[in-house]
């Protein structure tokens, strides 16, 4: 299953090859979501209760969006009425309300947890979601956090039963990277305790795994412990027999997770939606973005002019050639000696991103579709072959370009990812 995270922009929701979408309330207010229905076969709504502790002073926009959903329990938030005011006027007014009422904490007592679960699950029913994700706060301390997860699972399961939920139930496993010390991965360590909390309960059909990172990095640059966590839990829950093992915000590492047993993953077009970095919710973050060409065969993103022109001149184009309907003209132009600078859709200019993002998502969707048709053993072998080939390709490119010709783009840390696969498989 390949899903696309969508927030304020829904332009990729119907992308060919995607199985569905994940709706993210931090990126879109309930005022809009209640009036627009995604065009997708599979619809998931991530309650994102794990973002309860965001700082409203730094992350006002995200907090205002989140507070528009009743399960966050922010007092004074009013429903949007289009007959009274425009949506942006309502948004501005509610921002001040949220600034006063945002608690910067997850629900702490049983009554608050009960109300949060009831509202979050009922909302997913109203949205006609294909699966229901049980809400859970962020687990950021090892001491007693597994017990906290258990309490939320019990509350979610009880609420789902009371609401007569018929859709598959997915347990949220939301971890901070701060809990991912070496000992967390040991036998009977923290991650095993998390798995035990889920498997000890009846009625759960699968898991939805996210890891919150403390630094905003390129999606390929996540700490090894973060990737190892996604891989470890994918394998553990797959071996436990769950039909749905979904990872989000792991980006293309989701393919590695599928090689270890995950049934699917979600990513998106922009860095902010491809990984879960808490600092990225700060309104002062961000900047100009430039298009990059994703080459799956080399597991890399290349600046469309700065990098691809050098690769073309070094006669290495065939090593990174990757064709989708969107990239076909770019590849043909480069093969004939031309440059992306002559193609409006691919020119290396600020925020000229649509073609590059569509190509990326199309290419990853194609790869995921191929993987899920393989048995688990063949999946793992396929992933290892991909990473080994990509690593060798990048080594050749760097050798051919020589010193002083550093690429502006990014490549996955193939050696690290291969090591993770070998250690966990």
What is the pLDDT confidence band of residue 142, given thresholds at 50, 70 and 90? confident
The predicted structure's pLDDT at residue 299: 97
What is the pLDDT confidence band of residue 14, given thresholds at 50, 70 and 90? confident
305 pLDDT exceeds 80? yes
Specify which residues 6 forms β-bridges with. 23
The answer as to whether 204 is a domain residue is yes
The answer as to whether 149 is a domain residue is yes
Per-residue pLDDT tens digits for 115-133: 999 999 999 999 999 999 9
Q: Are residues 274 and 299 in the same domain?
A: no
In terms of phi and psi (left: phi > 0; alpha: psi -120 to 50; beta: otherwise), the region of 48 is left
pTM of the model: 0.95
The answer as to whether 101 is a domain residue is yes
Q: Are residues 232 and 194 in the same domain?
A: yes
* Average confidence (pLDDT) over 99-105: 91
The predicted structure's pLDDT at residue 404: 64
Range of the domain at 57: 2-281
Q: Are residues 332 and 226 in the same domain?
A: no
Residue 98: name the closest of 73, 119, 77, 72 by CA.
77
The predicted structure's pLDDT at residue 286: 64
The answer as to whether 64 is a domain residue is yes
The predicted structure's pLDDT at residue 95: 84
CATH code of the domain covering residue 63:
3.20.20
Per-residue pLDDT tens digits for 370-416: 999 999 999 999 999 999 999 999 999 999 988 767 899 999 999 99
Three-state secondary structure call for residue 23: strand
Per-residue pLDDT tens digits for 59-82: 999 999 999 999 998 988 887 777
The answer as to whether 161 is a domain residue is yes
Q: Which residue has the higher pLDDT, 159 or 76?
A: 159
The answer as to whether 286 is a domain residue is no
220 pLDDT exceeds 80? yes
* Average confidence (pLDDT) over 157-163: 96
The predicted structure's pLDDT at residue 369: 94
Other Cβ atoms within 10 Å of 134 Cβ, number: 25
Query: 172, 135 in Cβ contact below 8 A?
Result: yes
- 106-110, 344-348, 418-422: segment of lowest average pLDDT: 106-110
Q: Are residues 136 and 173 in the same domain?
A: yes
Residue 341 DSSP label: G
Q: Are residues 75 and 40 in the same domain?
A: yes
* Average confidence (pLDDT) over 83-111: 85
The predicted structure's pLDDT at residue 285: 64
Per-residue pLDDT tens digits for 169-199: 999 999 999 999 999 999 999 999 999 999 9
Q: Which residue has the higher pLDDT, 12 or 124?
A: 124
The predicted structure's pLDDT at residue 282: 92
Last residue of a domain, one of 246, 281, 316: 281
Instruction: Count structural domains, the chain.
Output: 2
Q: How far apart are CA 332 and CA 59, in angstroms?
A: 44
Three-state secondary structure call for residue 372: helix
Query: 357, 270 in Cβ contact below 8 A?
Result: yes
The answer as to whether 203 is a domain residue is yes
Residue 186, judged by CB atoms within 10 A of its CB (0-12, 13-18, 19+), counts as exposed
The answer as to whether 399 is a domain residue is yes
Query: 17, 38 in Cβ contact below 8 A?
Result: no
Q: What is the 3-state secondary structure (H, E, C) of 79-92?
A: CCCCCCCCHHHHHH
Residue-by-residue DSSP string for 159-199: HHHHTT--SPEEEEEEEEGGG--GGGGSTTSHHHHHHHHHH
Q: Residues in the chain, how many?
A: 425
């Amino acid at each position: 299953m390949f899903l696309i995270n969508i927030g304020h922009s829904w332009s990729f929701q119907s992308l060919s090859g995607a199985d569905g979408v994940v709706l993210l309330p931090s990126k879109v207010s309930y005022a809009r979501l209640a009036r627009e229905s995604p065009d997708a076969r599979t619809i998931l709504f991530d309650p994102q209760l794990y973002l309860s502790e965001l700082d409203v002073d730094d992350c006002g926009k995200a907090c205002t969006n989140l507070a528009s959903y009743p399960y966050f329990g922010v007092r004074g938030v009013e429903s949007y009425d289009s007959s009274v005011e425009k949506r942006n006027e309502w948004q501005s007014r509610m921002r001040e309300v949220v600034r006063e009422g945002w608690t910067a904490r997850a629900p702490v007592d049983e009554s608050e947890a009960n109300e949060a679960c009831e509202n979050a699950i009922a909302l997913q029913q109203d949205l006609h979601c294909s699966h229901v994700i049980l809400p859970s706060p962020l687990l950021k301390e090892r001491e007693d956090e597994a017990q906290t997860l258990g309490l939320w699972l019990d509350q979610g399961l009880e609420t789902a039963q009371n609401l007569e939920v018929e859709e598959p139930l997915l347990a949220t496993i939301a971890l901070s990277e701060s809990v991912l010390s070496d000992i967390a991965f040991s036998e009977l360590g923290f991650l095993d305790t998390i798995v035990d909390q889920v498997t000890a309960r009846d009625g759960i059909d699968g898991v939805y795994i996210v890891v919150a990172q403390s630094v905003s990095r390129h999606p390929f640059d996540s700490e090894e412990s973060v990737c190892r966590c996604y891989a470890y839990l994918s394998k553990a829950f797959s071996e436990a027999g769950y039909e749905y093992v979904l990872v989000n915000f792991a980006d293309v590492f989701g393919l590695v997770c599928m090689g270890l047993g995950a049934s699917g993953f979600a990513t998106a077009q922009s860095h902010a939606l491809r990984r879960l970095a808490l600092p990225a919710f700060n309104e002062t973050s961000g900047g100009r973005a430039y298009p990059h060409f994703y080459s799956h065969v080399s597991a890399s993103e290349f600046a469309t002019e700065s990098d691809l022109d050098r690769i073309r001149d070094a006669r290495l184009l065939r090593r990174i050639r990757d064709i989708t309907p969107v990239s076909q003209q770019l590849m043909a132009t480069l093969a004939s000696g031309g440059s992306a600078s002559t193609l409006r859709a691919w020119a290396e200019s600020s925020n000229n991103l649509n073609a590059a993002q569509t190509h990326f998502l199309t290419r990853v969707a194609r790869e995921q579709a191929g993987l899920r048709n393989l048995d688990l053993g063949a999946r793992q072998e396929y992933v290892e072959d991909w990473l080994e080939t990509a690593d060798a390709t990048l080594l050749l490119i760097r050798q051919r370009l020589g010193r002083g010709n550093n690429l502006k783009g990014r490549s996955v840390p193939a050696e690290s990812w291969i090591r993770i696969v070998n250690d966990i498989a």
